[in-house]
Amino acid sequence: MNDIPRRAVTRSAKLAALPLGVAGRATLGLGKRIGGRPAEIVAAELQARTAEQLFQVLGGLKGGAMKLGQALSVFEAALPEEVAAPYRAALTKLQESAPPLPAATVHKVLAAEFGADWRSRFHAFSDVPAAAASIGQVHRATWTDGREVAVKIQYPGAGPALLSDLRQLSRLARVFAALTPGVEIKPLLEELLVRVKEELDYRLEAQSQETFAQAYDDDPEIHVPHVVAGGERVLVTEWIDGTPLSTIIREGTQEQRDRASLLLARFLFSGPVLAGLLHADPHPGNFRLLADGRLGVIDFGAVNHLPDGAPEPIGVITRLAIDGDAAGVLALLRAEGFVKPTIHVDADAVLRYLMPLLEPIMGPTFRFSRAWLRGEAIRLGDPRSPANQLGRQLNLPPSYLLIHRVTLGTIGVLCQLGGEAAYRSEMERWQPGFAAPRT
């Protein structure tokens, strides 16, 4: 058996062990409860052990499993605190951590992309990775012109591994769904599979990043580092220093939280207008609060091409809902495919379903919080609730799938940050169709 099949078998075995490990710990916990140990203590121990196994397996797999872990780490804000705590520490590690590649392997990738004399392009190159992503790791270096640069190097075999891991994980969706109630795991995996080919080609990422960098050149609020060089599996960009949002979530001041929340919303709203692109990977590891107060943005492997800006119907539907026009909302939802022609729903019920979700833009400012997100998760996720029953009758058109995922992911990050900002004014400024009618 050669090395590639052996690694594939090992990945599959590790993934298959996840539900077995959860079941085994549950059985052990039952035995301890029968033995007289308090249920709360046993549950906490089980959650902590499961979280640690998730990190070890997902982090070690890199590829698709790590990418799913990154996506799930955004949604931990929706979980009750006593359940979320063990998973938060383990899953958020996946946002910027993974077992590193050996230096010799890194050098082989650089030689394959830049030639045997690849070192001539750098004044200095650190063999110790500065960060890890789902399909590659980042090294700090100095380019020949003296610029500090970030060198992102794709893991060898990342393509086949990523596809294999995502297919394996689709069979385990029920296990992950149990950890993230209210989050649809299978559509997330399907959407990740669709995007994987684009993310594997760093040349496409270079094009997207440079488009963003030029769009935000000299912007006083947002900074995107320019692309320096690259190939299919290596991407060199300008280096940026700053405080990752994951750090601000953990220990930031309220001022930092408010600032980061505002700029994150501004960047995601303005991207389709200024760059014709939507940054589609809104996890905290991809954003930094710079020393001068700007928001630094990295990792453009996943983008949504919106050359005409964000879809105008989103803004129109939102405006109609705020104005209380239930019939208008339902008519436009039908026109856009959110309600299929064969489905009969009450317009007022649809409006009641939407209004709590629009609370962040109802007033001049809003503070996202874990408590707010948990409340919405319960309202929408409880099969007995009217909102859940109505939601099951709604449809998500394919053209809105990535926008929907980015919106959910961004809300998850904002709830982790707990910042207060003027989200309504940002939407009025950037979202077509939403601006309040002039009087």
Query: Which of the residues are catalytic?
Result: 281
Distance in angstroms (rounded) separating the CA atoms of residues 317 and 339: 13
Distance in angstroms (rounded) separating the CA atoms of residues 239 and 241: 7
DSSP state for residue 278 in the 8-state scheme? E
Which H/E stretch holds residue 266?
Answer: helix 254-274
**Contact call for residues 44 and 165 (beta carbons, < 8 A):** no
> What one-letter code names the amino acid at 56?
Q
- Write the Ramachandran bin of 96: left for phi over 0, alpha for psi from -120 to 50, otherwise beta: alpha
Distance in angstroms (rounded) separating the CA atoms of residues 135 and 192: 13
Structure tokens at 305: 């091409």
Burial label for 425, CB within 10 Å (0-12, 13-18, 19+), is middle
Interior CA angle at 412 toward 411 and 413, to 5°?
A: 90
The most distant pair of C-alpha atoms in the chain lies apart, rounded to whole Å, by 74
The Cβ of residue 41 has, within 10 Å, a number of other Cβ atoms equal to: 12
**Contact call for residues 79 and 180 (beta carbons, < 8 A):** yes
Q: Which residues pair with 238 in a beta bridge?
A: 149
Q: What is the DSSP string of 124-151?
A: EE-SS-SEE-SSEEEEEEEETTS-EEEE
Q: Which residues pair with 122 in a beta bridge?
A: 143
| Gap between the terminal Cα atoms of the chain | 74
The Cβ of residue 49 has, within 10 Å, a number of other Cβ atoms equal to: 17
Distance in angstroms (rounded) separating the CA atoms of residues 3 and 288: 38
Q: What is the DSSP string of 284-312?
A: GGGEEE-TTSPEEE---SSEEE-TT-S-H
Q: Which long-range contacts (CB under 8 A, 24 or more apart) does 176-181 make?
A: 176/68, 176/72, 179/50, 179/54, 179/72, 179/79, 179/87, 180/72, 180/75, 180/76, 180/78, 180/79, 181/78, 181/79, 181/377, 181/381
> What one-letter code names the amino acid at 137?
Q
